[in-house]
Amino acid sequence: DSGVTQTPKHLITATGQRVTLRCSPRSGDLSVYWYQQSLDQGLQFLIQYYNGEERAKGNILERFSAQQFPDLHSELNLSSLELGDSALYFCASSALGTGVDEQYFGPGTRLTVT
């Protein structure tokens, strides 16, 4: 158990809908990262937050957004869902997010868009 929690574990929804994925980092970690794992694209970095502020953006679509709250949990919002958004979404956390610390991954949320 990495100490990173994600909810829900599974989500099935229809095209055009909006969903919210939630992540709680390890106790004491200030940085949260979101990743998408799909069969065709592999594991891709989406976005990083550090202590409530966006720190880095990767391949995140405009239809997707994230935020980190004062209690350091984070949410990833996916809207206008398409079939191609079906994937495993991981959250990771690290102590500082400075690039010299280790990331720990949650169990993931499996999203299926029908």
- Of 93, 90, 94, 95, nearest to 107 by C-alpha is 90
CA distance 107 to 1: 9
2 binds another protein (CB under 8 A): yes
83 binds another protein (CB under 8 A): no
Query: Least distance to another protein from the beta carbon of 105, Å?
Result: 4
95 binds another protein (CB under 8 A): no
Contacts of 112 (CB under 8 A, 6+ apart): 10, 11, 12, 13, 86
Contact segment (CB under 8 A) with another protein among 20-28, 67-75, 79-87, 97-105 equals 97-105
> Residue 74: beta bridge partners?
23, 68
6 binds another protein (CB under 8 A): no
Residues at the contact surface with another protein, assessed by CB under 8 A: 2, 33, 35, 42-45, 48, 55-56, 58, 88, 90, 97, 99-105, 107-108, 110
